[in-house]
Amino acid sequence: MPTGYTADIAKGITFKQFTMTCARAFSALVLMRDERMDAEIPEQFEPSDYHSKNIASARAELARLEKISLEEAAKCADAAYAEAEQKRLGYLAENEVLRERYEAMREQARNWKPPTPDHQGLKDFMVEQITESIKFDCGGSYYATPTVRLDGTQWLAAQQARAMKDISYHEAEYEKEVARTNKRAEWVKQLRASLP
């Protein structure tokens, strides 16, 4: 039975066509994996614009931050604090409801009388699963600490630092993306040159 790579051999494809079809299984062409098998393999590849868009966005945010007044920064700090506290308190409330449900189910599991000694392992397993889920899902220690309230100056400095960190990160990642893209293009170029 032919595979997606060998199906066209019966139709008389050339060695070069077969090789280029099989090349799709390798890292240089892995981004073409969802395309049709007869889709043209390009001579040149373009780097993803994900990081370049994020660089532009972070630079725009930094420029915006550099223009706002301390009064505006204080308002933003207050809004950020209120939003973070609302999310934190909401999580704690949801967490408490979940804990109550887990504990109620664990109590039912503990009170359940297995029909035979062979079923005792099931009971133990059920209790263990709920106990582990309570530890993992209901710890809440991260959300137990109230949000730190920043003044405008602190908030502004933190936001500027975050924007600069984003710029630095995305610039480095974009360089890596360009290098990977060039390497992919070189791999395909070398492959094509090796074929009759």
Which tens digit of pLDDT belongs to each residue from 71-98? 999 999 999 999 999 999 999 999 999 9
Q: What is the pLDDT of residue 103?
A: 97
Helix H or strand E segment including 195: none
Instruction: Answer whether 155's CB lies under 8 Å from 80's CB.
Output: yes
Q: What is the pLDDT of residue 40?
A: 84
Quote the CA–CA distance of 165 and 173 in Å, as a whole number.
Answer: 12
Q: What is the pLDDT of residue 42?
A: 85
Q: What is the pLDDT of residue 80?
A: 98
Residue labelled with tokens 């029909």? 115
- The parts of the chain modelled with pLDDT lower than 50 are none
Q: What angle do CA 66, 72, 77 make, to 5 degrees?
A: 95
Instruction: Answer whether 68's CB lies under 8 Å from 160's CB.
Output: no
Q: What is the pLDDT of residue 83?
A: 98
The residue among 152, 155, 174 whose CA lies nearest residue 163 is 155
Q: What is the pLDDT of residue 38?
A: 77
